[in-house]
Amino acid sequence: MSWKSVLASCGLLFAGLLPASAAGEGGYFDWANANGLVGVFAEPDADLDQDGITNLMAYAFDLAPVNDPEAWDKLPTLAMIGDPPEPVMIFVLPPEIPRDVSYVVEMITDGGKRIEIARKNGRGGWIGTGEISRQKLEDGCTQVTVQIPLEMEIPEVAKPLRLRVEFQP
């Protein structure tokens, strides 16, 4: 298997742009520069192609920042598993996790309050009260699954879990 097929299987090569891991260890702004993003278009909250995926989300999940037709398929998903069904947040982290990004899973209560249940700061370990499981994939990526803590009641809201990405310059 070539390195290009390994990268593509992890969702890293799109639209001829380099992924975060190919930009080196420099961090977000080196990634933005390597992908031709300048000025206001290089800001973490910018969305040049207006697809709803900010530069920071593209960087955190090693996607191309513009014109990536498969990007939505590679972002986190909320699934219901078990009997009775329980909400689970599932996502895949790239082989090279950015040092300047935090991944935060929040539970939304029936009253709309957000409670942090899992956090990963850069390349550090996961912390939080949520049930966190990780599985290393053949392509070097890591699939992460986060469930609501066993002692907490499952909210009756439509989307009780969400993943937030924070920039930590």
Per-block mean pLDDT, blocks of 10 residues, the chain (169 long): 33 35 69 95 94 95 89 89 90 94 95 95 95 96 94 89 94
What is the bridge-based pairing of β-strands 77-81 and 86-93? antiparallel
The answer to whether the peptide bond before residue 84 is cis (omega within 30 degrees of 0) is: yes
pLDDT for the residue 23: 38
Q: Can you read off the two tokens belonging to residue 8?
A: 């593509």
Of 71, 125, 85, 135, nearest to 103 (Cα)?
125
Which pLDDT value is given to residue 82? 86
3-state secondary structure of 55: helix
Where do the DSSP E strands lie in the chain?
A: 77-81, 86-93, 101-108, 114-121, 126-127, 131-136, 142-147, 161-167
What is residue 25's predicted lDDT score, i.e. its pLDDT?
A: 61
- Whether the Cβ atoms of residue 137 and residue 149 lie closer than 8 Å to each other: no
The helix or strand, by DSSP H or E, that contains position 7, with its residue range, turns out to be helix 3-9
pLDDT for 70? 81
Of 58, 59, 64, 49, nearest to 18 by C-alpha is: 64
Q: Give residue 116's pLDDT.
A: 97
- What is residue 165's three-state secondary structure? strand
- CA distances 103 to 81, 116, 117, Å, are 22, 11, 11
Q: Are 15 and 66 in contact (CB under 8 A)?
A: yes
pLDDT reported for residue 21: 42
Reduced to 3 states, what is the DSSP secondary structure of residue 85?
Answer: coil
Q: What pLDDT is recorded for position 4?
A: 33
Q: Residues spanned by CATH 2.60.40 within the chain?
A: 74-167
Domain 74-167: which CATH number of 1.10.3860, 3.10.450, 2.60.40, 1.10.286: 2.60.40
